[in-house]
């Protein structure tokens, strides 16, 4: 593929990132009027998504047979293992374990896609959607939770993981712009639905309290 093709994908994905920056969840974290209790409730509902992320990256490794893509998937997995536990430590004063059907359904969609998509599209899903979304969220999280171990880690690592995806597209020929954009659009829709649900639940719980 040409550099122009990669740039087209990057421009499209950067637009999706900007749209996500304006989402309800990101605005909730960056709004000075959001209470500490509501911000903490965001982390409560982030935990099941973080737990599910471990299943997502494991599914990618499990179903990947292409040597280059499997090596990348394993590298990604090694760097992400245990991040759910770091989040749990950040929530040390919040032992609540929640289950939500929308969050679980969104996570299951990603796990399913890692099992059925072609290899390059799996990488796109992991690096250009999940990691790009995580980067936006972590940048908001570092403002809401200064010097928090979980967000400090992700704010740095997610930039590297996002770039892994673009580097892969520059090297590979077995993809098309249309197919990649289609996967990205679907993934960002699911990320948006899950994020809106996390914000909704955080507000609901703290208003009820």
Stronger pLDDT, 157 or 126, i.e. the higher one: 126
Mean pLDDT of the chain: 93
Q: Check residue 1 and give its pLDDT.
A: 73
Using 50, 70 and 90 to split pLDDT, how confident is the model at 8? very high
> pLDDT value at position 153?
76
pLDDT at site 148: 87
Confidence (pLDDT) at 170: 96
What's the Cα-to-Cα distance from 144 to each of 25, 114, 138, rounded to whole Å? 12, 32, 9
pLDDT score of 161: 81
In this predicted model, what pLDDT tens digit does every residue of 131-188 receive, in sequence order? Answer: 999 999 999 999 999 888 888 776 566 678 888 999 999 999 999 999 999 999 999 9
Q: What is the pLDDT of residue 157?
A: 60
Instruction: Please give the span between the terminal C-alpha atoms of the chain, in angstroms, as a whole number.
Output: 54
What are the backbone angles phi and psi of residue 121, rounded to the nearest 5°? -70, -30
Kindly report the pTM of this predicted structure: 0.94
pLDDT category at 52 given cuts 50, 70, 90 is very high
CA distances in angstroms from 178 to 1, 11, 102, 183, listed in the order given: 12, 13, 28, 9
What pLDDT digit, counting tens, does each position of 66-103 carry?
Answer: 999 999 999 999 988 889 999 998 887 777 889 999 99
Confidence at residue 168, expressed as pLDDT on a 0 to 100 scale: 95
- Percentage of the residues of the chain whose pLDDT score is greater than 70: 97
Q: What is the pLDDT of residue 151?
A: 86
pLDDT band at 130 (very low <50, low <70, confident <90, very high): very high
Residue 208 has pLDDT above 70, yes or no: no
The pLDDT assigned to 95 comes to 75
């Amino acid at each position: 593929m040409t550099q122009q093709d990669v740039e087209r994908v990057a421009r499209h994905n950067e637009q999706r990132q900007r749209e996500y920056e304006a989402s309800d969840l990101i605005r909730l974290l960056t709004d000075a009027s959001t209470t500490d209790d509501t911000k903490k409730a965001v982390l409560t509902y982030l935990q099941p998504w973080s737990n599910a992320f471990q299943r997502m990256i494991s599914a990618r490794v499990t179903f990947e047979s292409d040597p280059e893509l499997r090596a990348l998937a394993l590298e990604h997995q090694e760097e992400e293992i245990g991040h759910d536990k770091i989040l749990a430590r950040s929530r040390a004063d919040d032992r609540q374990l929640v289950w939500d059907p929308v969050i679980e359904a969104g996570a299951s969609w990603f796990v399913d896609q890692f099992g059925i998509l072609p290899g390059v599209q799996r990488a796109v899903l992991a690096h250009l959607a999940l990691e790009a979304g995580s980067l936006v969220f972590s940048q908001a999280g570092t403002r809401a939770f200064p010097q928090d171990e979980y967000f400090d880690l992700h704010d740095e690592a997610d930039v590297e993981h996002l770039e892994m995806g673009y580097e892969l597209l520059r090297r590979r020929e077995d993809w098309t712009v249309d197919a990649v954009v289609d996967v990205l659009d679907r993934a960002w829709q699911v990320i948006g639905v899950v994020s809106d649900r996390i914000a909704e639940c955080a507000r609901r719980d703290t208003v009820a309290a």
